């Protein structure tokens, strides 16, 4: 079946789906869904002829017929959920199974008054006044085929609404578990996070595959920052090694807001992470950090785009990659400084560590500057583990593997170390550590 | 403890060591001196197991085992320690974490219990005093931003913590001011013991004012051309290396003449 054929399948999925949603109080959103699906029909899946998809072929996704997911626990227990989450992290946790909100597995801790936390599917029906002004207003379904597909076909996800002047101290964890079985399935999860003026929140999004099955996660998250708000956002992707994961994180920042994003990607067969931030106010601060760790035949593509629209904005970007065996990676970081965005200060760095001669990275920093009084720098490095360092550690009695693991961890630590909340940082360090160790013994398993 | 027989080694096809013979017993301190390019550091690195050097002939027996067949980490676990001439910086790797991992790896190999964080800290603090090393420095990444003297002291600290059977110090004295040299020498002297062998590779006799060796060997052009007691170092200091070069050249000419007759 060709690309066109699979496009038809999604269109017929939509036709079936449209009948369901017209019944449940979500019909107000139907028009946007229809616009999105017709835009998807026009765009089709991107090919490597598209500049933005030059090094990432989504042909494997277009060749498989994925059925929409169902809510299936498949033996999932609260204990298993706890293990799939960050162990020590005390927080409210929204759990999604195959893209559907799970009331039985989610847990809530006390939150400041008027903070809304829950299923987006429910909020679409019950809180139109909160959802309506933001949903699908930032992530462009006009330009991006996968976003269009998500916008048309999304069923559920998280809706977090923090009103003005609320500081949410504890992190909020959105945990997406896949229990997919034998048949390939797809979920189009959608998250909307709205943080009001002078408010503060920490959001953790994690995607975990609980088996070795083939499935496709196509997720879009929109984060909206009100004036002077502060948001720390951590995204951890550890899907099954056979999974496809296409994700867009769309950040919209108002005046004097601060966003720190950390994207950690370890799982998946074919992974594409798009992170776009629009700095739409004066004095906005935006940090986008990332870490990708791949091996085997894994392919991971990180595309970031930062739009400096107003003056006095600061952006900092550090993406680090560790690639082993025959894995491949892409880093494409675009910084656009618009005409009005004078006094912009932007710095972008991408560093890669290749652990094998067969691993490959394509790194492309792009600066487009239309203002004339700005400070912008970017840099890319690609290197191997330094033999001198390795020998130094070995000469003190450490195994070659352990020494290499330590040096790799140290390399990764530069990004992880920048996450402010200690429990998240140590949780991630532990996950990476088991990743390094398990990889050595078993090669394949993520869990 | 260590016996080197007719050791030849080359790097990039160029022969650096051309037949080294040396025997080190437990409790002995051997100084190896020689001009630049004589092969001093190569000898130290070959003993530590640096793979960029290729051993082309000869053998090294360490405690009855073929040392050249052992991986660098196994040599360290069996008690060999080399203090680097140029200690390597490892940004991001905490000095204490590194040293604890190294010590526990060696202890495990020796069948000893691994030290926990508290016991290790006590041990490390005691050894830090020996080389006048501040705890703040050890909280930093390995050698990162250390001065030359701090790096050398860190090597001696590592040696003190790891308690090797055979210590090889590769120009640990080079580039040190007199105060730092005294600190390093005190550290080394404190570690001298009946069951520990030491090889001091040095360019300058000065170090030997503070660490008195049992034997002095002169390395020239990849081979040991002269051996003697500690007084040989003083003779070298007074006469310089040129004197040795002269002797070697004369000896070579004799060899050549003899060779000529034989042919």
Q: Which two tokens stand for residue A57?
A: 């072929």
Subunit contact B109:A397, Cβ cutoff 8 A: yes
- Check residue A4 and give its pLDDT: 58
* Residues in chain A within 8 Å Cβ distance of B106: 397
pLDDT of amino acid B171: 92
Instruction: Write the residue in A391, A394, A413 that is nearest to B92 by C-beta.
Output: A413
What is the pLDDT averaged over residues A289-315? 97
CATH number of B2-262: 3.40.50.300
A113 CB near a chain B CB, below 8 Å?
A: no
pLDDT the model gives residue A443: 37
Q: What is the mean pLDDT of residues A422-433?
A: 83
**pLDDT at residue A86 above 80?**
no
| Chain A interface includes B157 (CB < 8 A) | no
Q: What is the pTM of this model?
A: 0.86
Q: From A151, A143, A140, A121, select the one nearest A36 (Cα to Cα).
A: A151
Summarised one tens digit per residue, pLDDT across range B19-40 is 999 999 999 999 999 888 899 9
Q: Mean pLDDT in chain A?
A: 91
Residue B263 and residue A140: Cα distance in Å, rounded? 90
A–B CB contacts, 8 A cutoff, strictly below:
70
**A6 vs B258, residue with greater confidence:** A6
Is it the case that residue B116 has pLDDT exceeding 90?
yes
B207: left (phi over 0), alpha (psi -120 to 50) or beta: alpha
* Residue-wise pLDDT tens digits, B54-97: 999 999 999 999 999 999 999 999 999 999 999 999 998 999 99
Which pLDDT belongs to residue A436? 67
Q: Is the pLDDT of residue B139 over 90?
A: no
Confidence grade of residue B227 (pLDDT, cut at 50, 70, 90)? very high
Q: Does B92 touch chain A (CB under 8 A)?
A: yes
Question: Which residue in A388, A391, A413 is closest to B72 by CB distance?
Answer: A391
Interface test with A, best of B72, B94, B108 (most A CBs within 10 A): B72
The kind and range of the H/E element at A74 are none
What pLDDT was estimated at residue A447? Answer: 33
Which of A388, A398, A407 faces B101 most closely, judged by CB atoms? A398
If we measure between CA atoms, which residue out of A317, A303, A314 comes closest to residue A350? A317
* pLDDT tens-digit readout, A17-45: 887 776 677 889 999 999 999 999 999 99
- Alpha helices per DSSP H over A368-399: 387-394
Residue A350: per-residue pLDDT: 97
Chain B contact present for A401, CB below 8 A: no
Asked if B73's CB is within 8 angstroms of A399's CB, the reply is yes
Chain B residues with CB-CB distance to A394 below 8 A: 49, 71-73, 76
What's the whole-number mean pLDDT along residues A270-283?
Answer: 98
Average pLDDT of every residue of chain B: 91
Asked if B2 and B198 touch (Cβ cutoff 8 Å), the reply is no
Q: For residue B98, which residues of chain A lie inside 8 Å, CB to CB?
A: 393, 396, 406
Contact B101 A406 (CB under 8 A): yes
In this structure, are residues A152 and A186 in contact, taking their beta carbons and an 8 Å threshold? no
pLDDT band for A1, please (50, 70, 90 cuts).
Answer: very low
Is the pLDDT confidence value at A148 over 70? yes
pLDDT at B256: 57
- The predicted model gives A188-200 an average pLDDT of 98
Encode pLDDT of A378-414 as tens digits: 999 999 999 999 999 999 999 998 999 889 989 998 8
Average pLDDT score over residue span A241-263: 97
B187 in A contact zone (CB under 8 Å): no
Residue B121 has a CB neighbour count (10 Å cut-off) of 15
């Amino acid at each position: 079946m060709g690309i066109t054929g699979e496009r038809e399948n999604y269109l017929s999925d939509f036709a079936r789906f449209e009948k369901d949603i017209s019944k449940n109080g979500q019909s107000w959103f139907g028009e946007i869904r229809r616009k999105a699906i017709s835009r998807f029909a026009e765009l089709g899946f991107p090919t490597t002829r598209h500049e933005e998809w030059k090094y990432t072929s989504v042909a494997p996704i277009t060749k498989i017929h994925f059925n929409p997911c169902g809510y299936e626990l498949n033996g999932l227990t609260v204990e298993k959920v706890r293990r799939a989450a960050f162990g020590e992290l005390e927080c409210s946790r929204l759990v999604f199974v195959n893209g559907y909100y799970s009331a039985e597995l989610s847990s809530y801790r006390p939150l400041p008054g008027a903070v809304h936390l829950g299923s987006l599917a429910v909020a679409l029906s019950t809180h139109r006044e909160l959802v309506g002004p933001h949903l699908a207003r930032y992530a462009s379904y006009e330009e991006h085929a996968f976003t269009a597909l998500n916008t048309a076909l999304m069923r559920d996800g998280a809706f977090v609404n923090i009103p003005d002047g609320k500081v949410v101290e504890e992190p909020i964890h959105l945990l997406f578990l896949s229990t997919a079985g034998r048949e390939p399935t797809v979920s189009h999860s959608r998250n909307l996070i709205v943080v009001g003026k002078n408010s503060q929140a920490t959001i953790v999004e994690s995607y975990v595959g609980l088996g070795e099955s083939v499935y496709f996660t196509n997720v879009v998250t929109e984060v909206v920052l009100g004036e002077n708000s502060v948001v720390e956002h951590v995204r951890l992707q550890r899907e099954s090694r056979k999974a496809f994961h296409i994700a867009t994180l769309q950040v919209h920042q108002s005046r004097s807001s601060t966003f720190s994003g950390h994207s950690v990607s370890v799982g998946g067969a074919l992974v594409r992470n798009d992170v776009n931030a629009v700095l739409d106010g004066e004095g906005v601060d935006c940090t986008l950090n990332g870490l990708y760790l791949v091996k085997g035949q894994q392919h991971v593509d990180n595309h970031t785009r930062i739009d400096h629209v107003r003056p006095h904005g600061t952006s900092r970007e550090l993406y680090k990659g560790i690639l082993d065996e025959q894995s491949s990676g892409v880093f494409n970081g675009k910084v656009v400084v618009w005409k009005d965005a004078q006094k912009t200060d932007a710095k972008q760095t991408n560093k890669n560590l290749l652990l094998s001669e067969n691993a490959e990275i394509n790194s492309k920093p792009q600066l487009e500057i239309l203002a004339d009084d700005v400070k912008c720098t970017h840099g890319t490095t690609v290197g191997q583990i330094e033999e001198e360092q390795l020998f130094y550690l070995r000469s003190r009695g450490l195994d070659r593997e352990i020494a290499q693991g330590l040096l790799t961890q140290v390399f990764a630590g530069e990004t992880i170390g920048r996450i402010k909340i200690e429990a998240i940082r140590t949780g991630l360090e532990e996950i990476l550590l088991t990743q390094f160790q398990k990889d050595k013994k078993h090669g394949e398993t993520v869990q | 403890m260590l016996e080197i027989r007719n050791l030849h080694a080359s790097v990039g096809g160029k022969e650096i060591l051309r037949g080294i013979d040396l025997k080190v017993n437990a409790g002995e301190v051997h100084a190896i001196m020689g001009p630049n390019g004589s092969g001093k550091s190569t000898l130290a690195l070959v003993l530590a197991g640096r793979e960029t050097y290729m051993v082309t002939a000869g053998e090294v027996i360490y405690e009855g085992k073929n040392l050249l067949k052992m991986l660098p980490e196994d040599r360290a676990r069996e008690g060999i320690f080399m203090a680097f001439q140029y200690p390597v910086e490892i940004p991001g790797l905490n000095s204490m974490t590194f040293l604890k991992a190294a010590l526990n790896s060696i202890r495990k190999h020796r069948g000893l219990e691994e030290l926990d964080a508290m016991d290790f800290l006590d041990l490390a603090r005691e050894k830090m005093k020996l080389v006048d090393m501040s705890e703040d420095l050890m909280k930093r990444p390995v050698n990162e931003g250390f001065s030359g003297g701090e790096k050398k002291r860190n090597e001696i600290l590592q040696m003190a913590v790891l308690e090797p059977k055979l210590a090889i110090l590769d120009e640990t004295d080079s580039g040190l001011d007199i105060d730092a040299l005294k600190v390093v020498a005190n550290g080394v002297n404190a570690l001298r013991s009946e069951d520990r062998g030491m090889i001091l590779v040095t360019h300058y006799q000065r170090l030997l004012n503070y660490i008195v060796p049992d034997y002095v060997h002169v390395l020239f052009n990849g081979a040991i051309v002269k051996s003697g007691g500690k007084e040989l170092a003083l003779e070298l200091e007074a006469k310089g290396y040129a004197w040795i070069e002269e002797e070697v050249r004369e000896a070579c000419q004799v060899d050549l003449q003899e060779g000529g007759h034989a042919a």
